[in-house]
Amino acid sequence: MNVFVTGTAGFIGYHLARRLLDEGHSVTGFDGLTDYYDVSLKRARLGELAGYERFTLIEGRVEDAQLLRQSLEGADAEIVVHLAAQAGVRYSLEQPASYVQANLVGTANLLEAVRALPPRHFLFASSSSVYGGNQQAPFSELHSADLPLSFYAATKKGGEAMVHAYSHLWAIPSTSLRFFTVYGPWGRPDMALFKFVAAILAAQPIDIYGQGQMQRDFTYVDDLIEAVMRLIGRPPTIGQPVDGDSLSAVAPYRCVNLAGGRPQPLLDFVDAIEAALGMKAERRFLPLQAGDPRDTAADPTLLRQLIGDVPLTEMSEGVARFVDWYRRYYRL
C-alpha cells in the first residue's frame, strides 16, 4: 500500500509512518520542518525513518500548492493522511496568521490535489478542541462542535468542514480524526508532559493551570496509532452507518473520536511523572488559560463500533516510557 503522510517529521506523523513502514507499506512523507519547536528533534525523527527503503521524504510546506500537487502525483497514493498543521492552543493567541496559512490554506491546497488524484481514503487530523464550549460529557461525535474556544480549534473545525465539502462534491471517502491529548516518546516540547519532565529535572517549578482541577482524556501514542491503522481500512460509505454513527447523509464522510474514554485528573498525570522520575515537582498553581477547556472526555463508542477494542496503555506505563525515551534522547 502506498501512503502519503503530511507532517511526517511531527510527533504523530513520525509514529504513524514508522508503523506503516514496519508493516511493509511504502510511505511518502511531506513536511515543512518549521521552527515552531526544536527542528533538531524533527530531524532526529526523520533520521529514524531514513533507514527504511520504502520511505521517501519531500521537504515542503502545505502552503505550497504546486509542490504539494506534484508530490502527491509522484506518490501514487492509495491512502492520504493529513497530519501537517500549526499546532498549539496558546500559540494561536499570539500568531493566528500562521494557523490560517497552515491549517486552512494548507488543508485546502491538499484537498485540491486530492480532488485530482482521489485516494481510497483521506484521513484528516482534527482535535478534541473542536468541542469547545460543548457542555455535554463525554463528548460524542453527534454533539455540537460549533463553539470553539481558541483560534486553533476554529481552524480545525474549519478543516473538518472543508473535508466534508470535498467529500460530498467529489465522492472522496474521508474521515476526520479527533485526537485527545496524545502523549508518548518523541512527543512535542510544547506539551505538558515534555515541559513538566524538563522542568523537574532542572529543579524548576512546573506551571499547573486551572488550579490543578483539570481533567484530560490522555491517549498514549501507540494506542492512537493502532486505532488510525485500523480506521485506514474503514473508509466511510454513504448509506452504511453503524450504531451511533456520525456518517454524513450526503457524503462518504464521518468524524471519529480517538481516545480511550477514560478522563483522568491532571494531578494524577503529575503524580505519574514524579513516580517515573523518582523526583518531586515544585507545583505552581495558576488560573485556567484562555482557550483551554477545563475538562475533556471522549465517548469512544463509535470508534469501537468501527474497529473493535484497541489497547489502552495505563497512564503510569505510558509516562514511564516517555521518561525513558527522554533520558536516552538527551543522554541524562
Candidates 3.40.50.720, 2.60.120.620, 3.50.4.10, 3.90.25.10; CATH matching 192-216+262-296+313-329: 3.90.25.10
Annotated domain spans of the chain: 2-183+218-258, 192-216+262-296+313-329
Q: Is the pLDDT of residue 291 over 80?
A: no
State the chain's mean pLDDT as an integer. 96
- Cell numbers of 223, please? 494506542
pLDDT, one tens digit per residue, over 253-281 is 999 999 999 999 999 999 999 999 999 99
- Cell numbers of 214, please? 483539570
pLDDT, one tens digit per residue, over 199-239 is 999 999 999 998 889 999 999 999 999 999 999 999 999 99
- Among 16-30, 85-99, 149-163, 240-254, the minimum mean pLDDT is found in 85-99
Cβ 302 vs Cβ 246: under 8 Å: yes
Q: Is the pLDDT of residue 293 over 90?
A: no
Beta bridge partners of 127: 179
CA distance 328 to 307: 34
Predicted local distance difference test score (pLDDT) of residue 288:
87
Q: Count of residues for the chain? A: 332
CA distance 196 to 283: 10
Across the range 3-8, mean pLDDT stands at 98
Candidates 3.90.1300.10, 3.30.342.10, 3.30.2310.20, 3.40.50.720; CATH matching 2-183+218-258: 3.40.50.720
What are the strands, taking DSSP E only, across the chain?
2-6, 26-31, 55-59, 79-82, 121-127, 174-179, 182-183, 206-208, 215-216, 219-220, 253-258, 264-265, 283-285
- Cell numbers of 204, please? 524548576
pLDDT, one tens digit per residue, over 44-61 is 999 999 999 999 999 999
209 among known catalytic residues: no
Whether the link from the prior residue into 311 is cis, omega within 30° of 0, is no
Predicted local distance difference test score (pLDDT) of residue 61:
97
Catalytic residue among 36, 91, 131, 152: 152
Across the range 68-95, mean pLDDT stands at 94
pLDDT, one tens digit per residue, over 105-128 is 999 999 999 999 999 999 999 999
